[in-house]
Amino acid sequence: MKSAPLPHSKITEMVAGLHRLAHNLWWTWNQGAQEIFQELSPRGWQNLYHNGVAILHEVSDYELRSRLQDPELASRVCEVLEDFNSYMNEPSTWGNQNAPALRQNPVVYFTAEFGFHETLPIAAGGLGILAGDHAKSASDLGIGFVGISLFYREGYFQQAFNHENWQSEYYTLLNPKNLPVEPVLDAKGGPIVCCVDIGMNEVFFQAWRVNVGRNPVYLLDTNRPENEQRFRDLTLRVYGGDSTTRIMQEILLGVGGVRLMRALDVDASTYHMNEGHAAFLVLELIREKLACGKTLETATTETRRECIFTTHTPVEAGHDRFDPDLMGYALSKWPSLLKISSEDLMKMGRVNGSDQDETFCMTVLALKFSRAANGVSELHGQISREMWQVLYPGKTVNEVPIGHITNGIHLMGWMKGPVRRFWKSKLSDSIMSPSSGAIAASSKRKSGQSLEREVNSPEFWQRLADPSFITDEELWALRYKLRRELIEFARRRLLLQGHRLTQGDFIAFDHLLNPDALTIGFARRFATYKRAPLIFEQFHDVVKLVSDHQQPIQFIFAGKAHPRDDEGKRYIQRVIHLSKYSDLKGHLVFIENYDVHVARQMVSGCDVWLNNPRRPLEASGTSGQKISCHGGLNLSIMDGWWREGYDGTNGFSIGGDTHPESIELQDRMDSENLYKTLTQEVIPCFYNRDAQGIPREWISKIRRAMVTLVPQFNTWRMVQDYTKKYYLTK
């Protein structure tokens, strides 16, 4: 069949549409859009690390226009652009119905890191990923939301290892032209430049806008010719440098963020501080009010009414503290700007204001100047109330005004391609009940959209409990597919990692890991409280488990240690040593350079996700939430979100809902309990097969996990909670 060539204007429109699409992170959670970029240059897709903007540079305009004459590609491009358009212009969002006021006066969300996608590597870990998922769901829900963070030109570090398997860090310079960011310009087309006071200096900054669906996120960048070099480099790295760099970055984030909002005429209803890093914003809000002639008391009261604060960790080192000298230097202009003494400024961040020895704590500043505060799981809320009770004299622990909202994940951003396709095909096979949004069985396209609509609803996941909707055999086939994809990914990465290979090693790579074996994953920051090597405490027993021919298990590890965390680096070194030189070789691998892409492979392919932090230090944790929609099961200490998620049927718990005082005792008990649960529950259940080779009991746990966990532990629910509980209540 012949089709007429597309007119010039239509092609031009599609090309412009693709560029718009590449500059909106919406495509990172839309399968069709990703497939188009991938198809335009499959090799570029791999080598440019899934970067739509870079793909459109790789493919010349001439090539693009020619290829759009392929009617099949053109029709898919049109479809995706239409979906994008209707997403952007959807009139009846949850936010429009439930939080219309926020459209005029948005929530401005301040965070030191945002983790959106592997192409924009400006997050160090879970805090940034959570912020990114928060922003994506705020867009999906149609909530007025603006994000503020810093543009780290060298991002977070890349991980490398020396011959002793000791982690070293290197940095690559990001090129904004090749990123989904756009310069923030004024009406004349020049960059909008603002400034903040740091020490006795004026430090100038510009901003980059990241389009996250319907909402903007602004990244502040001090790399301006007006600045001295040391200030141009202020935004070079995520948490880079010493506490001097840290305090300067935080002044920029908090104070600069507010100033940018003024320059852009954004009239915020609420300033949300995601962790204490952003808390200097309260200084700027108070300063503005004083400059309008208000009293300090009025300015303070009004500022408190505008701010909310989320604390993310009970780990002491997670709370920034600055000593009086550093405060005096970095904030030298601020006492006079606030018309207070430098001692009074220090008091704003002290529990006991008159204690000259107490450092300035950003968490204290944030708590003192917020109308509401929360932890990120029920237990973490409780622990935070205990931690900060000293700030509220006269109140019992339970009266301390710190609540909780349990973290979640952005489902469509985490769900791997094959799983989306699987659910989509299931949806298009079924005629859904009118109440959950009727779709025509024939229309593949409609069903695709409806996955995005349905994916957060309990009803959707409830149907999965029904084996007549999806059979055990189908689910097991999906698990096999995902496990194999992960194992092949691991083999590829390990081959690239192994630079001093012998010929024997080289051949061995395709025999590394066993696609039939129970695959246990552990990937996250190598902060020591997460106890990555805990399982290997029982080394000889674990060796027996991995070498069991009937019921083998295997491990895939990944993660970065903070550049200055030698203990964390020792943990990694230990895991790599075991993977290379012990009897675990071939059954344990360490994938280098953990990031969002590695995470997506791991959370989809692993059968079991291991989480063994020292309770109660894992405030929530989110990586385990990413596995349920892929059919993985959690094996976790009863800490953070898992304490709320686990119901006895939907995964495995290590130990109970308590922990001893003594850390040594705790480590020993947890290690024993971990081994016990693994050998008495996890392995027998996984290998309990029927005549067809299907682990029925295991699969019923997978169904239970999907029904009970997925609709609860996602950011669609979480951002609604923030909206109802905090954003809309003043």
Ligand X SMILES: *Cc1c(COP(=O)(O)O)cnc(C)c1O
Cα 405 from Cα 377, distance rounded (Å): 6
Distance of closest approach, residue 471 Cβ to ligand X, in angstroms: 31
Residues 6+ positions from 522 with CB-CB distance below 8 Å:
532, 535, 555, 556, 557, 558, 559, 609, 610, 611
Distance of closest approach, residue 523 Cβ to ligand X, in angstroms: 7
Give the torsion through C-alpha atoms of 54, 60, 65, 68, to 10 deg. Answer: -50
Q: Which is nearer to ligand X, 350 or 524 (CB)?
A: 524
Cα 46 from Cα 38, distance rounded (Å): 8
Distance of closest approach, residue 705 Cβ to ligand X, in angstroms: 17
Q: Which is nearer to ligand X, 64 or 599 (CB)?
A: 599
Distance of closest approach, residue 126 Cβ to ligand X, in angstroms: 3
Cα 542 from Cα 674, distance rounded (Å): 11
- Pull the structure tokens for residue 683: 């392995």
Answer for the pair 686, 554: CB distance below 8 angstroms, yes or no.
no
Distance of closest approach, residue 617 Cβ to ligand X, in angstroms: 11
Q: Which is nearer to ligand X, 250 or 595 (CB)?
A: 595
Distance of closest approach, residue 557 Cβ to ligand X, in angstroms: 12
Q: Which is nearer to ligand X, 127 or 251 (CB)?
A: 127
Residues 6+ positions from 101 with CB-CB distance below 8 Å:
269, 728
Cα 617 from Cα 314, distance rounded (Å): 6
**SS3 label, residue 599:** helix
- Pull the structure tokens for residue 93: 């969002």
Distance of closest approach, residue 157 Cβ to ligand X, in angstroms: 13
Q: Which is nearer to ligand X, 368 or 524 (CB)?
A: 524
Distances (CA, A) of 629 to 423, 462, 582: 10, 12, 34
Q: Which is nearer to ligand X, 132 or 240 (CB)?
A: 132
Binding positions for ligand X, rule: CB under 6 A: 125-126, 129, 524-525, 594-596, 599, 621-623
Distance of closest approach, residue 125 Cβ to ligand X, in angstroms: 4
Q: Which residue is nearest to ligand X (CB)?
A: 126
Identity of the residue numbered 72:
E
Cα 290 from Cα 276, distance rounded (Å): 23
Distance of closest approach, residue 129 Cβ to ligand X, in angstroms: 4
Q: Which is nearer to ligand X, 289 or 524 (CB)?
A: 524
User: What phi, psi does 484 have (nearest 5°)?
Assistant: -65, -45
Cα 622 from Cα 714, distance rounded (Å): 9
Q: Which is nearer to ligand X, 558 or 588 (CB)?
A: 558
Answer for the pair 280, 303: CB distance below 8 angstroms, yes or no.
no
Distance of closest approach, residue 559 Cβ to ligand X, in angstroms: 8
Distance of closest approach, residue 596 Cβ to ligand X, in angstroms: 5
- Pull the structure tokens for residue 590: 């360490």
DSSP state of 537: G
Q: Which is nearer to ligand X, 612 or 723 (CB)?
A: 612
Distances (CA, A) of 683 to 43, 269, 288, 410: 39, 52, 61, 30
Q: Which is nearer to ligand X, 121 or 144 (CB)?
A: 121
Q: Is 608 left (phi over 0), alpha (psi -120 to 50) or beta?
A: beta
Q: What is the largest CA-CA distance in the chain?
A: 84
Q: Which is nearer to ligand X, 159 or 450 (CB)?
A: 159
Identity of the residue numbered 463:
R
Q: Which is nearer to ligand X, 131 or 282 (CB)?
A: 131
Identity of the residue numbered 491:
R
User: What phi, psi does 253 have (nearest 5°)?
Assistant: -60, -55
Cα 423 from Cα 429, distance rounded (Å): 10
Distance of closest approach, residue 595 Cβ to ligand X, in angstroms: 5
Burial class (CB in 10 A: 0-12, 13-18, 19+), 730: exposed
Q: Which is nearer to ligand X, 525 or 643 (CB)?
A: 525
Scanning 370-512, the segments in alpha helix (DSSP H) are 378-388, 411-414, 417-429, 444-454, 458-462, 472-497, 503-508
Q: Which is nearer to ligand X, 627 or 707 (CB)?
A: 627
Q: Which is nearer to ligand X, 384 or 622 (CB)?
A: 622
From the centroid of its chain, how far is CA 671?
A: 28
Cα 353 from Cα 340, distance rounded (Å): 14
Distance of closest approach, residue 640 Cβ to ligand X, in angstroms: 8
Distance of closest approach, residue 590 Cβ to ligand X, in angstroms: 15
User: What phi, psi does 535 have (nearest 5°)?
Assistant: -60, -30
Distance of closest approach, residue 312 Cβ to ligand X, in angstroms: 11
**Residue 426: Cβ within 10 Å count:** 16
